[in-house]
Amino acid sequence: MVQRSRVVVVGAGFAGLAATRELARSGALVTLVDRNPYATFQPLLYQVATAGMGTSDVSYPIRAYAAKWPNVRARRTALSKVLPQERRVEFEDGGALEYDYLVLATGVTTNWLKVPGAPENALPIYSLGDAAGLRRRLQHYLEDTATGRRESTHVVVVGAGATGVEMAGTLAELRRHTIPLTHPEIRADRTSVTLVERFDYVLAPYKPRLRDAAAEALRKRGVRLRLGSTVASVEPDAVVLSDGTRLPSDVTVWALGVTAPPEVASWGLEQGKGGRVTVTEALTVPGHPEIFVAGDLAGPPHAPPQLAQPAIQMGKHVGRQIAAAAKGRPVRPFAYRDPGIMATVGKAEAVLQLENGLTMRGLPAWLVWIFIHVAYLLGGRNRVSVLLNFFWRYAGPHRSRASVTQ
């Protein structure tokens, strides 16, 4: 009998799931490990945060995912130590696993950029727990504002990348169309949405005409843009800019930058910019060809941008290279195929930029955005639920568009 390779995949994000799928099909014995019992579809977390979707709509049990293949097992725990010389990993629950190949795809975490007060007073939107916590805060503050227990519910979003733009656009639509119906006691001047960005434009990776279109769409929705502004500090009730301007902020959303989790430093692997693990062209750790890194944790110079598509492609590549290496074949360098980037601003408004230079905006781009996001969701129930939620949020009655409470 041919002995099958033992592979431990740490992280159930886009990269980890893609690697697990490829490895399962190759016949390897795979253990998928994550600190959470579910995988999260991060591109739609802003919908959870703004009460358009529930947490179950954008999550999927990793044990249900592993159950698709008889040679895959799932384990809920967090990685605490990597012992390359012994080919063993140890976990926070006290357990350990030996491996022939190891895939590190744990992802990254919020980067507070050493801004004073940001970790204490701003809310990130990187995990399912972050999104649910932000939604609860917004709902409670709106209720308190309506009943007079609070003076206002002003929101400042820091960072005008795709997440920040999508969050600001959706909040602005809720402020203009839904809150006047659901919370008629709140005057318009007691709420606001402000987007702060250090560049003079939003959506930095996009072409100027798409940036301008997105900025104009945000302004039409009532978003106050503070472009070319750097955050100096975050206070409990305000965001202070480097020029001394103090923006009132009851809820500060931090959508600016990511970095490797601090525990990565204890793994004993070489780290580069942002604490990400240094990798070779084949996405292996230098000096350890049996250890692969995929997704946002993979560092430059050989890793592509920290987006969903690159993570999926890296995961597939890693799975295929491990299958090849197990058969004695050499591993190949990773080559990223850029399918393009897209972001939505709100109802019937999105921007799309393909690798070949083709651009699209407005309703057609928005429909493409919905189709692609639904297609990449795990599980048929989630796809149906998300489609219904999109329809209800953007075509249903205004008063019920922010109805998710759990």
Q: Hey, how many other C-beta atoms are within 10 angstroms of the C-beta on 131?
A: 26
pLDDT tops 90 at residue 393: no
Domain membership of residue 40 (yes or no) is no
Q: What is the rounded distance in angstroms from the CA atom of residue 365 to the CA atom of residue 352?
A: 6
Domain match, 246 and 353 both: yes
pLDDT tops 60 at residue 383: yes
* Domain final residue, candidates 271, 302, 326: 326
pLDDT number for residue 1: 39
Please indicate whether residue 387 or residue 152 has the higher confidence score (pLDDT).
152
pLDDT tops 60 at residue 403: no
**Are the beta carbons of 62 and 387 closer than 8 angstroms?**
no
Domain tally for the chain?
2
Domain membership of residue 13 (yes or no) is yes
Domain match, 176 and 317 both: no
pLDDT tops 70 at residue 399: no
Q: Is 41 helix (H, G, I), strand (E, B) or coil?
A: coil
* Percent of the chain residues past pLDDT 70, beyond the cut: 97
pLDDT number for residue 175: 95
Among 27-36, 289-298, 300-309, 396-405, whose mean pLDDT is lowest?
396-405
- What confidence tens digit (pLDDT) does each residue in 81-91 have? 999 999 999 99
pLDDT number for residue 355: 85
pLDDT number for residue 386: 82
With vertex at residue 153, the alpha carbon angle to CA 162 and CA 168, rounded to the nearest 5 degrees, is 10
What predicted TM-score, i.e. pTM, was given to this entire model? 0.91
- What confidence tens digit (pLDDT) does each residue in 122-157 have? 999 999 999 999 999 999 999 999 999 999 999 999
Domain match, 209 and 247 both: yes
Could you say which DSSP state residue 271 is in?
B
Q: Average model confidence (pLDDT) for the chain?
A: 92
pLDDT tops 70 at residue 402: no
pLDDT number for residue 378: 77
- Give Cα 16 distance to the centre of its chain: 14
Q: In what order do the strands lie in the sheet with 72-76?
A: 72-76, 29-34, 6-10, 101-104, 288-293, 284-285
CATH of the domain at 363: 3.50.50.60
Domain match, 126 and 85 both: no
Q: What is the rounded distance in angstroms from the CA atom of residue 387 to the CA atom of residue 390?
A: 5
Mean pLDDT of 352-377: 89
Q: What is the rounded distance in angstroms from the CA atom of residue 268 to the CA atom of residue 264?
A: 8
Give the range of the structural domain holding residue 26, as residue numbers without chain letter.
6-35+77-108+260-326
Q: Exposed (0-12), middle (13-18) or buried (19+): which is 3, by Cβ within 10 Å?
A: exposed
313 pLDDT band, cuts 50/70/90, is: very high
Domain match, 136 and 204 both: yes
pLDDT tops 90 at residue 375: no
- What confidence tens digit (pLDDT) does each residue in 326-363 have? 999 999 999 999 889 999 999 899 999 998 888 999 99
pLDDT tops 80 at residue 391: no
pLDDT tops 50 at residue 320: yes
Domain membership of residue 62 (yes or no) is no
